[in-house]
Structure 1
Amino acid sequence: MKRTYQPSKTKRRRTHGFRVRRKTKGGRKIMKNRMRKKRTRITIS
């Protein structure tokens, strides 16, 4: 049986990357919260 998680750098970047997060209001909210927490990595890539 195949597992559900098949890691791929490209797919990861396209769904959770900086440009994708910036596009939506919800994504910007996530980034803002992470900046507030002073995370070193705000998003992937």
Structure 2
Amino acid sequence: MTKRTLEGTSRKRKRVSGFRVRMRTHTGRRLIRTRRKRGRARLAV
């Protein structure tokens, strides 16, 4: 069996692209707004 090389960590994922991180920047807030408008179930990771 080959080893899985891409194993994500939830802590890093949250720190990079979590909701609170998105809300810090103007662009991030715009992204959340867009996803709300589209009716996404998940706004951020």
Provide TM-score, normalisation by structure 1. 0.82
- Counterpart of 2:11, as a letter, is T
2:6 matches 1:9? no
Query: 2:23 aligns to what SS in structure 1?
Result: helix
Which ranges of structure 2 fall in alignment gaps of 5 or more residues? none
Deviations 1:3-44 (A, max 9, x none): 5x4411000000100100000000001000000000000011
**TM-align CA RMSD:** 1.0
Which ranges of structure 1 fall in alignment gaps of 5 or more residues? none
CA distance, structure 1, for counterparts of residue 7 and residue 22 of structure 2 = 22
- Counterpart of 1:34, as a letter, is R
Equivalence map 1:6-45=2 (5 Å): 6-44=7-45
Aligned residues: 41
CA distance, structure 1, for counterparts of residue 14 and residue 40 of structure 2 = 18
